Amino acid sequence: MTALPLFEECLMRRKAVLGENHPDTLTSMNGLATLYVKRGEYGKALPLFTQSLKQWKVLGEKHPDTLICMFNLAMLLNHQGEYEKALPLYRECLKQRKVVLGENHPDTLHSMDGLAFLFTRRGEYGKALSLFEECLGKRKAVLGENHPDTLTSMSNLANLYMKQKQYSKALSLFEDCVKTEKVVLGENHPSTLTSISDLANVYLEQGDYGCALPLYDKSLRVSSAVLGDNHPNTLQLMNNLALVYYYQGEYEKALPLYEECLKKRIVVLGENHPDTLLTMSNLGCWYDNQGDYRNARSLHEACWTKRKVILGENHPDTLRSLNNLMNMLNR
């Protein structure tokens, strides 16, 4: 038996016995929502997090459980690409946790890491860097170098280095992270798979397709088996594997992966999610490369328009879409 039916039954019984607003009911509600997030079922998690946060606030804005719900809601909104909604929640949660729990408490560091991750997604790399470095330093001191949260900070900082084109720094951190996670968490743990994928991303960025391809291929197969074919992490691996095939000139292998990934991301994440737009952009580049300028233009224009609204006109991904469109029109 999986955990999901147990969580659902527990919440149902607590609602019936204790009422919807009882702290134990709210704890079950938050736990079920967290499980939905891990399964990639964001739509099911959102109303549960929203309702539980509203009820916990009755117990006090600074209550530790209120702050847990606030953080979880911010994390979910971040996953959904709702950055403007997530930002004030992350900031308020970090502020209150510093006061209530202290600057070095693990939950405070969770908030710091989450805010830094949000800044990364928004393209505000300078703000993200200082927070990631502070969080990693504190987690090493408080939790130890091999703690899963420390490894998460290490991975997040490495991702930021990669976005800043500091590949040697990123590669070193990712290699250490993968090595440790395989021992601490296991080879098939979702966090380990994410780090392996991130390591492959560095190889991809450096043009080392021979090293990237087997990592993506194996991670995709394991992720499909462990998390499911439609999980956001699995879809990210599918997108990246298609990208390697594209760069290697194996266009016929790339196309069905891009098409399947885009179709599933629209269903799972929504048409306007940043990850959906990433695959849309990649598919547009595929059509452009094949000389199918009508389909390429349609995808590039749609992607640029959506990114301007969702990410802002100056976000690196928005500018990349503009560049793709300009290059296509200039052919």
Residues 95 and 19 placed together within one structural domain of the fold: yes
Q: Are residues 38 and 97 in the same domain?
A: yes
Q: What is the pLDDT of residues 186-199, one digit of tens each?
A: 999 888 998 999 99
Same domain for 98 and 112?
Answer: no
Count of domains observed in the chain = 4
**pLDDT interval class at 277 (50, 70, 90):** very high
Q: What is the mean pLDDT of residues 147-163?
A: 94
Which of 227, 249, 266 corresponds to the end of one domain? 266
Tokens in use for 49? 């997090």
The residue segments making up the domain with residue 43 are: 1-102
How much is the pLDDT for 220? Answer: 95
pLDDT of residue 258: 97
Last residue of a domain, one of 251, 266, 281: 266
Domain boundary among 102, 128, 149: 102
Do 195 and 159 share a structural domain?
Answer: no
CATH classification of the domain holding 4: 1.25.40.10
pLDDT mean across residues, the chain: 92
| pLDDT for residue 45 is more than 60 | yes
Q: Give the rounded percent of residues in the chain with a pLDDT score beyond 70.
A: 100
1 has a pLDDT exceeding 70: no
pLDDT at 26: 87
Query: Do 193 and 140 share a structural domain?
Result: no
Are 131 and 208 found together in one domain?
A: no
To the question of pTM greater than 0.85 for the whole model, the response is: no
Residues 73 and 46 occupy one common structural domain: yes
Q: In the predicted model, what is the mean pLDDT of residues 46-56?
A: 87
Residues 66, 137 within the same domain: no
Q: What percentage of the chain carries pLDDT values higher than 90?
A: 69
pLDDT single digits (tens) 297-312: 999 999 999 999 988 8
Give the mean model confidence (pLDDT) for residues 210-239. 94
Pair (25, 92) in one structural domain: yes
Same domain (yes/no): 181, 191: no
Q: What is the pLDDT of residues 69-104, one digit of tens each?
A: 999 999 999 988 899 999 999 999 999 999 999 999
Residues 171 and 192 both lie in one domain: no
Model confidence at 29: pLDDT above 80:
yes
**What is the pLDDT at residue 149?**
94
> What integer pLDDT is reported at residue 140 of this predicted model?
96
**257 and 292 share a domain?**
no
